[in-house]
Amino acid sequence: AQTVTQSQPEMSVQEAETVTLSCTYDTSESDYYLFWYKQPPSRQMILVIRQEAYKQQNATENRFSVNFQKAAKSFSLKISDSQLGDAAMYFCAYRSALAGGTSYGKLTFGQGTILTVHP
Amino acid sequence: SAVISQKPSRDICQRGTSLTIQCQVDSQVTMMFWYRQQPGQSLTLIATANQGSEATYESGFVIDKFPISRPNLTFSTLTVSNMSPEDSSIYLCSALGDTTYEQYFGPGTRLTVT
């Protein structure tokens, strides 16, 4: 079974600064997807960024980028130029890419990291 | 993309009663799922809602407690039966789109059991 670990229960950052959230995972599969989701107090899960395991290039979405280290099974999220609206719970998640497998489509989430942004 | 709505958005229920949560997707999706998020915790998968057949439950979740229906490709219900205060959680519906990486979430249903 796959596991996802976020070792930082809480993080804080000053507005306009950069912060990195950590995530490690364990799997025996070679093809999978990794995601970072944001959950503000509204409860709505918002996809921040995704990474396909077969791609060596790190994904980037505007101020958000990842450092994907497949051999180390590490998937950290960097938020640049932090904004007050970035304050939320952030979840790292894993999903198998094996079509038709018993785990297909199912997300395994980490414990979450609460991000506070100070003005 | 797909938009998911859930009803009710929140409810307060008495122990021993049951609540049915509805999930509606505005387009056809390949797979639908139900997750539970206990207070201050992460999301845990309850089951995969299969269209026209019995849901597939994860370890620790059983059909008698969480019956699920999916009569068509865009609608599913989750019932929380014989509720206890330990069932107080946010229940989220999720759907997998046609491409392999599109995954959508509903806004969640906040359930409080007294």
Instruction: Output helix, strand, coil percentages for chain A, rounded to the nearest 5.
Output: 5, 50, 45
Residues of B in contact with A111 (CB under 8 A): 41-42
Confidence of residue A103 (pLDDT cuts 50, 70, 90): confident
pLDDT at A14 over 90: yes
B82 CB burial (10 A radius; 0-12, 13-18, 19+): exposed
pLDDT at position A79 is: 98
CA distance B88 to A109: 20
State pLDDT tens for residues A41-96. Answer: 888 999 999 999 999 899 999 999 999 999 999 999 999 999 999 999 999 999 99
- Residues of chain B short of pLDDT 70, as ranges, are 99-101
CA separation (Å) from B24 to A18, A30, B62, B105? Answer: 38, 34, 23, 11
Report chain A residues whose CB lies below 8 A from the CB of B33. 105-107
Partner A contacted by B31 (CB < 8 A):
yes
Interface membership of A63 toward B (CB under 8 Å): no
Whether B30 and chain A come into contact, CB under 8 Å, resolves to yes
Q: Compare all CA atoms of chain B with the CA of A31 and give the residue at the minimum distance.
A: B100
φ, ψ of residue B67 in degrees (nearest 5): -65, 140
Q: Going by C-beta distance under 8 Å and a sequence separation of 6 or more, which residues neighbour residue A55?
A: none
Rounded to 5 degrees, what are φ and ψ at A26? -135, 130
Q: Do A43 and B108 touch (CB under 8 A)?
A: yes
Helices (H) and strands (E) in chain B, counts: 0, 11
- Shortest CA distance from B34: residue in chain A: A106
Three-class SS state of A85: helix
